[in-house]
Amino acid sequence: MIRRNPRGDLPVVHETAFVDPTAILCGHIIVGENVFIGPYAVIRADEVDDEGHMDPIIIGAHSNIQDGVVIHSKAGGRVEVGEYTSIAHRSIVHGPCKVGDHVFIGFNSVLFNCVVGAGSVVRHNSVVEGCRVPEGFYIPSTCNIHSDEELARIERVTPDVTGFSESVAQANHELVRGYKRIRNEF
């Protein structure tokens, strides 16, 4: 469902993107080309700051927002998801937040008020809050990262980990084409 927010902003979805009919996109949202937004995802840009300002939620080209993901922002803060990025099932990205290009965010992970650098991997059930993850970091499953000191103990991404992330992105890219082809059948 595509709908306006109380301020009147309507999502802008590139014609090549696929948004599942059960997903909800509300407000000041920009969805790039060949993006896949899966079932029951909720992307909501509807809160303003004290001056009535709201930055957009931007989903970069060729990215995938999988089943049950929630993307929202407090007080009109910007949320940006880079290109070729995967946000896996039931994750929460709450802004202000920036997720770089070619990033993989694992199942049930939570990002809040943070920056995740390009090429990073945040594995399943992890929390990243109030810090800046440099490019190419690998955060193992079930980690809670809240400071630069905690980041210093995290190992760099290895080629086998980025290969997995790229295969997830490619699989979801194929889903965009497949679902757009059959969209009038359901």
Tokens of 146: 């809240």
Q: Which residues are catalytic?
A: 47
Residue-wise pLDDT tens for the chain (186 aa)?
A: 999 999 999 999 999 999 999 999 999 999 999 999 999 999 999 999 999 999 999 999 999 999 999 999 889 899 999 999 999 999 999 999 999 999 999 999 999 999 999 999 999 999 999 999 999 888 989 999 998 788 888 766 665 665 666 667 677 667 777 777 776 555
Q: Contact at 8 Å (CB) between 25 and 3? A: yes
Q: Contact at 8 Å (CB) between 57 and 73? A: yes
Number of domains in the chain: 1
122: domain CATH number? 2.160.10.10
Residue range(s) defining the domain that contains residue 62: 2-185
70-102 per-residue burial string, b: 16 or more CB within 10 A, e: under 16: bbbbeebbbbbbbbbbbbbbbbbbbbbbbbbbb
